[in-house]
Amino acid sequence: MIKHALLARFEARPGKEDDVARILGAALEMANQEASTPLWFALKLSERVFGVFDAFETEAARQAHLDGPIAKALMASADALFVRQPEIEAVEVLGLKNAALAS
């Protein structure tokens, strides 16, 4: 059962919005390679604010994701792309509606 998640927010530097969207698009390919990441969403919250929500069955899977290639790619470009360091919160999933993933 999916109980562990991450919620991240990134504010793009002016003029870097397309670069952030591109890197999040590339991150989808990496997320698809992570068997222990069943849910992964890249979000555009406003003109310059982006986010990622991803969820996991175990704390170990969440930690592996934090140590994995997506986080490394985002952090390697953070100074050039973002106004400030990304805000990443560990959150708990209290409910989930998705017939394929809820069991």
Residue at 59 is within a domain:
yes
Residue at 55 is within a domain:
yes
Tokens encoding 27: 């991150």
CB of 59 within 8 A of CB of 41?
A: no
The pLDDT score that the predictor gives to residue 97 is 86
Instruction: Report how many domains make up the chain.
Output: 1
∠ Cα 55 16 56 (to 5°):
5
Question: What rounded mean pLDDT belongs to the chain?
Answer: 93
Let me know how long the chain is. 103
**DSSP letter string over 61-100?**
HHHHHHTSHHHHHHHHTHHHHBSSPPEEEEEE------TT
Residue at 99 is within a domain:
no
- Domain holding 37, by residue range, is 4-92
pLDDT tens, position by position, 13-37 = 999 999 999 999 999 999 999 999 9
pLDDT tens, position by position, 71-89 = 998 899 999 999 999 999 9
Residue at 78 is within a domain:
yes
Residue at 39 is within a domain:
yes
Kindly report the CATH number assigned to the domain that includes residue 11. 3.30.70.100
Band (pLDDT 50/70/90 cuts) for residue 4 is very high
The pLDDT score that the predictor gives to residue 99 is 63
- Kindly state the average pLDDT of the residues 33-53: 96
- Kindly state the average pLDDT of the residues 49-70: 96
Residue at 66 is within a domain:
yes
